[in-house]
Amino acid sequence: MSVICSALQWVLDRRLQQDEAACGEDRGNGGDGGVGSDDEPDWMRDFVIDKEEKKKEEKCGSVWGKPHSKKKSKEIPKDFRVMGVGEEKGRESLQKKIDAVEIGDKEFLLEEYESEDEKGLGSVVSKRKAVKTSFSSSSEDESGEEEEEEEKKLKVYFCSRTHSQLSQFIKELRRTVFANEMNVVSLGSRKNLCINEEVVALGNSTRINERCLELQKKKKNEATKVKNLKVGAGVCRTKASSGCPMLRKHRVQQEFRNEVSQQGPLDIEDLANLGRTMGACPYYGSRSLVQGADLVVLPYQSLLSKSSRETLGLNLKSNIIIIDEAHNLADSLINMYDSKITSSQLEIVHRHVERYFERFRNLLGPANRRYIQTLMVLMRAFLRALLDDKDGNLKDSCRDTAQASEESGACDFTMAINDFLFELNIDNINLVKLLKYIKESNIMHKVNGYGEKVATLAKIPAIHIIGEQAEEGSCISAFQALADILLSLTNNDGDGRIIISRSRSTSFKKQGGHIKYVMLSGEKIFSEIVDEAHAVVLVGGTLQPIEETRERLFPWLPPNQLHFFSCGHIVPPDSIMPIAVTRGPTGRSFDFSFSSRSSPDMMRELGLLLCNLVTVVHEGIVVFFPSFDYENRVYEHWKSSGILERIIKRKRVFREPRNNMDVESVLKEYKDTIDTISVMNSEVNQASHNGAILLAVVGAKLSEGINLSDGMGRCIVMVGLPYPSPSDIELLERIKHIEGFRNLKLPENPSVSSSYDLYSGDVQGGFDILRSCSHRGKEYYENLCMKAVNQSIGRAIRHINDYAAILLVDTRYASDSSKRSFSHPVTKLPQWIKDRFVSSTINYGEVHRLLHQFFKLKKTCCH
């Protein structure tokens, strides 16, 4: 609410100052913004009039539609033909079908390709480009004027990490006057907004995206076929049987846009429901409203990823950007620029490209042949790096580590980009030109389409066809992964590291490895956003220490351009009871460090603590564990020792599922159990007569962005200090980058070339690296832990009348205040918790007494 009222009022005040000048300057026909985007359906390009543009037409005399009449009159080259694929239906023999496909293979033939610097003065422009220009683009002058026009309209972009957090924002926005004064649009992923049941059934986000784009491409191809048939020989129109049914009716799409504009702020769920009711695509419908919007609400990925911004047509110039949940912004940002390809994906793409090249080799032009051969060279080089190839240079370099990690079967090592390219002998390949070729030539879809057709005809029985459909999109996904890796290799040498991970055969199966690029530097990425925007606002409850964020994202920013504001919590101090719990009921000290936490005694002591807490805490207790593995280990121990049975007698026990899709149902059942207790339902099951316990995991879905208000979180139990695993290669590379040193060799590998950092995958090696850090690396590691703690315990206090006990269970949380160092965990707790923190207790009995008094007092106050 603070963000909404301050930022949006500023925008309205600014608008008043600009209104008089806006009409006089805002003239011209304009284009439709993102007209060139490959993944936009044709109705978005062909139909550009919306509510805002009508206003402009009335106000300033713009005339819309002229560019499109010009566009329709452009001639499509007569020699651009695509054979129909429906003519084979009545044929009986397999041979005849294959013969028909041979003729129709021209559909998959790449058009003649020439890059810009290869064209001579008299060269002909690619036929593909001519078609694309005539089919999907207005004049450059007009689109340029529109962009200039839109720059003058101040926008606010609000982004957060999850769709649920964005829904909370929309809910609060509706309570303000701004809901009626501003045009608001919410953007979401296809997975959250798609209403085509056939596509949604695919489940996986990648496959949903691919299927959606494939349907758009089929629609475009079908339209191209119709136009060519008309231009070529006056043949009657073929029926457009392809494309998504939710995008076929332009009139319904416009009605959807109008309805969204009239209803005011809608969240993702509202948009999806409206789309289902009207039979219109909410994903593309919401995208088409961005230009006329005053406030755009969108997830991290859509705003922070440059490719996503370009696809959506987002213009950040001179606009306001508000980034919520910004405590892990640096890591979230650089993670978006990671890329990875597995050995199986490489094999899939190589097999498809090789088969394609064999079929069309003699029909392809010299440029196509050269680029395809270059692609195959790169894929073979990558496979040599991953597979057991005696000729691979990397194989020899890794041998020492492989022998050292014989038991785990892992051989992981990291390299700088340049070292990787030199070792594989691919440093002479122009990756920028190759990437441009992949993008412009449409080779991904040509190769995939030909592969699918060959596979379908080779496996005519229904069971085989089903098997092929199950793998639908796998080639496209793999090809995209290859393109992403190639793009990563064009980064500056010091911006990231290449991780090469290979696994040996186990007794059951052979597990392939992968090549992964890990982005380490976020400065350049974030500067693109900061340089464009009028202002960037980072918002979060656990932003401190801000210095780390500044160093990693905007170290170049002058101090006078960075303003930090912090305020106290709205909740009164007596509404929380934070305690460091150092000893359990039997007097044993709690030590949940990595080496001690799995001991049966430690797990038993934690169980006995819970047995006592269920007697003093009514309603809900949420226990946060460092990892799913440890939570499972503790749960199984409690189950076998009888402790779980004792707990269940007083409270029902729920566990956070690993699959995020199942979290909502578990959370709902947990909430219903608590609510039942609150209304004192006489028919409640005896197993849950005193509330419930929810076993959750730090860093999983329940620890961030979820409200555990009131009875759902009367007591938060934080088990240990949830430091990330020191065996995580990506984490160690990030720490080394932040610390400012590279190529740190582990003691057991002194003889290895300085080009490599070798990892055996053991925890001890990670600790060795951490011990080698002086300050910044350690500080980052500690901040990761404590920000996770702060996020987790912050789930419980959600409004002014809320109250909760917060138990930090580990001896490391307790310490004499006079002896606390800068890096002590308690120093990184929020001030509103530190002010009330009970850092030392004599024994568990004292903790129990404090809790009893706290809940007795709150119960009296509330009633």
Q: pTM of the entire structure?
A: 0.78
Among residues 521, 157, 488, 154, the alpha carbon closest in space to that of 303 is found at 157
pLDDT beyond 90 at 666: yes
Distance from C-alpha of 232 to C-alpha of 145, rounded to nearest angstrom: 35
Write down the pLDDT at residue 60.
42
Question: pLDDT tens digit string along 569-583?
Answer: 888 889 999 999 999
Structure tokens at 238: 């073929």
pLDDT greater at residue 686 or residue 791: 791
Task: Check: CB of residue 435 under 8 Å from CB of residue 483.
Answer: yes
Distance from C-alpha of 11 to C-alpha of 5, rounded to nearest angstrom: 10
Tell me if residue 810 falls in helix, strand or coil: coil
Distance from C-alpha of 582 to C-alpha of 32, rounded to nearest angstrom: 63
Residue 41 banded pLDDT, cuts 50, 70, 90:
low
Question: pLDDT tens digit string along 397-450?
Answer: 555 544 544 444 456 889 999 999 999 999 999 999 999 999 999 899 899 889
Question: pLDDT tens digit string along 151-179?
Answer: 457 899 999 988 888 998 999 999 999 99
Exposed / middle / buried, residue 120 (Cβ in 10 Å: 0-12, 13-18, 19+): exposed
Question: pLDDT tens digit string along 249-293?
Answer: 889 999 999 999 999 899 999 999 999 999 999 999 999 999 899
Exposed / middle / buried, residue 244 (Cβ in 10 Å: 0-12, 13-18, 19+): buried
Structure tokens at 400: 């020492």
Beta strands 339-342 and 514-519 are antiparallel
Question: pLDDT tens digit string along 456-511?
Answer: 887 644 334 333 344 444 788 899 999 999 999 999 999 999 999 886 555 455 56
Residue with tokens 């907004």: 193
Task: Check: CB of residue 171 under 8 Å from CB of residue 281.
Answer: no
Sequence-separated (6 or more) residues with CB below 8 Å from residue 134: 71, 74, 75, 76
Edge to edge, the sheet with strand 804-809 lists 576-581, 804-809, 715-719, 620-625, 692-697, 652-655
Write down the pLDDT at residue 70.
38
- The mean of the pLDDT values for the chain is 78
Our measurement of the distance from residue 130's CA atom to the centroid of its chain's CA atoms, rounded to an integer in Å, reads 35
Average pLDDT over residues 713-724: 95
DSSP string, 222-276: HHHHHHHHHHHH-PPPPP---S-GGGS-HHHHHHHHHHHHHH----HHHHHHHHH
Identify the bridge partners of residue 497 per DSSP, sorted by sequence position.
518
Structure tokens at 818: 């006079």
Overall residue count recorded for the chain in this entry:
863
Among 10-24, 424-438, 690-704, the minimum mean pLDDT is found in 10-24
Tell me if residue 625 falls in helix, strand or coil: strand
DSSP string, 672-707: HHHHHHHTT-TT--GGGTT-EEEEEETTSGGGSS--
Task: Check: CB of residue 714 under 8 Å from CB of residue 575.
Answer: no
Distance from C-alpha of 309 to C-alpha of 319, rounded to nearest angstrom: 14
Dihedral in degrees, nearest 10, Cα atoms 711, 648, 666, 598: 100
Write down the pLDDT at residue 211.
86
Structure tokens at 379: 């894929």
pLDDT beyond 50 at 391: no
